[in-house]
Amino acid sequence: MAGKNAREVALDALTAWQAGGVWSARKLSDAIVRAGLDKRDSAFATYLCGGVLQSLLLLDYHIGRHSSIKLNKLETRVLCILRLGAFQLLFSDSIPESAAVNETVALCRGKDRRSAGFVNAVLRALASVDDPYDINEKDHIKRISIRYSHPEWICRELVEMVGPDRAEEVLAANNEAPPVTIQVNTLMKSSREVADALRDEGVDTAPHEIVPNCLNLQHTGAIDRLGAFRQGWFWVQDASSMLAVMALDPKPGERILDVCAAPGGKSFAAAVLSCGKAEITSLDISERKLKLVREGSERMGLGLRVGKADATVYDPEYDGKFDRIICDVPCSGLGIIRKKPDIRYMDRERADRLPELQLNILKNVSRYLKPGGLLLYSTCTWRDPENAGVVKRFLGENREFELEGFELPQPLGHIDTGMITLWPQNFHFDGFFICLMRKNNV
């Protein structure tokens, strides 16, 4: 791959994904390294891939209007070439039209050379589009699906859940650039001290609107190269995840279990919120991901007990041993689309299978809780079947559990229902679901 430019690296990554692979930012990073791209071109390749994934359906809409060949008849690589060119022409003001067209046509090499004339003609036509958001579609669901590049099933579920206006707010927020959010390790430093240290390293910081000891960053560069990070003064975690652990309210002296713990953010939060005086066990099924938990615990001096375990399989060693449990289950991830734009294209049937897995995990780990203990159930999605739907089924089968109200910072305040959905258009949150349950004495 050595010698490839940014557009070629982006094209290879997008073609592999379109051909049926799973999108991987790590694989893109590896490809960038193999190509020997400098910092500027690395950022450009990443920008192109993210832009195409974020606006895919809208790009296809415009390509389809100007193509003499139906999109499903195009070779995968040619379609991805067109998407790269369309994104540059329609949404990247910093790239001159001539460069967008010529450099994209130049991607038609080898067996794709015969498509160069066709690609050139389509891109020249796309260059005349005045308003890419002018969509000739009367059906509301189809129109917003194209406009915000979300599959129709997601748009339909959102509209049914929150209404058309709020649904569009969510879809629009999903296409905005998210902040890099960190949580301060207050066992070591204050927020002010961390902000000052980051400023000295050229990083701009701003306090989160409502979550204490939480900072939004700009101009970070590589996080792991920052001195404040290496010294263990913070970890990267969205504000919504911190709120989930705040709802659990871990206390010094307690035994706390975090299942599905990797990459470790909620375990770290529990350690800090309990003043470093709780015994925290962090489990995950992935040994590779557990490495991140161990490294974070060591870097920040948190002393977590880290181990490999399948959260669906009962372990009698843990039966009735914990005061509080964090159960952040695998989910559709539709609340973090702004960070992982490819998630929106997940298979609907796969999403619909998740509640069974989530319920099985919840039922299994609930056995590890002491009578009177608290169980946090959370996901990074807004889908009701994965959230309130799972909770309702669990409570129906486990009468010793009941919903427990909890406190969050203002303006959220007291959540007396025991559950809340956070939305990406509010306070720069990831979309997130938080539910707290108590196990009664039996």
- Mean pLDDT, range 31-58, rounded to an integer: 94
| Region of poorest pLDDT, from 89-98, 264-273, 277-286 | 89-98
- Mean pLDDT, range 323-331, rounded to an integer: 98
Q: Please give the structure tokens belonging to residue 407.
A: 């406190």
- Round the average pLDDT of the chain to a whole number and report it: 95
The residue annotated as part of the active site, out of 108, 331, 380, 435, is 380
Reported confidence tier of residue 332, pLDDT bands at 50, 70, 90: very high
Whether residue 351 is predicted with pLDDT greater than 70 in this model: the reply is: yes
pLDDT digits (tens, 9 = 90+) for 224-248: 999 999 999 999 999 999 999 999 9
Q: What angle do CA 436, 420, 372 make, to 5 degrees?
A: 10
Whether residue 111 is predicted with pLDDT greater than 80 in this model: the reply is: no
Whether residue 108 is predicted with pLDDT greater than 90 in this model: the reply is: yes
pTM of the model: 0.94
Question: 205 - beta bridge partners?
Answer: 217
pLDDT digits (tens, 9 = 90+) for 184-194: 999 999 999 99
- Provide, rounded to the nearest whole percent, the portion of the chain with pLDDT above 70: 99
Reported confidence tier of residue 354, pLDDT bands at 50, 70, 90: very high
Structural domains of the chain, ranges and CATH numbers in brackets: 6-126 (1.10.940.10), 140-174 (no CATH), 180-236 (3.30.70.1170), 240-439 (3.40.50.150)
Q: Please give the structure tokens belonging to residue 366.
A: 């609930």
Q: Is 80 a catalytic residue?
A: no
Q: What pLDDT is attached to residue 96?
A: 93
Whether residue 1 is predicted with pLDDT greater than 60 in this model: the reply is: no
Whether residue 83 is predicted with pLDDT greater than 80 in this model: the reply is: yes
Q: How far apart are CA 434 and CA 84, in angstroms?
A: 38
- Provide, rounded to the nearest whole percent, the portion of the chain with pLDDT above 90: 91
- The burial of 131, by beta-carbon neighbours within 10 Å (0-12 exposed, 13-18 middle, 19 or more buried), is given as exposed
Count CB neighbours of 28 within 10 A.
Answer: 22
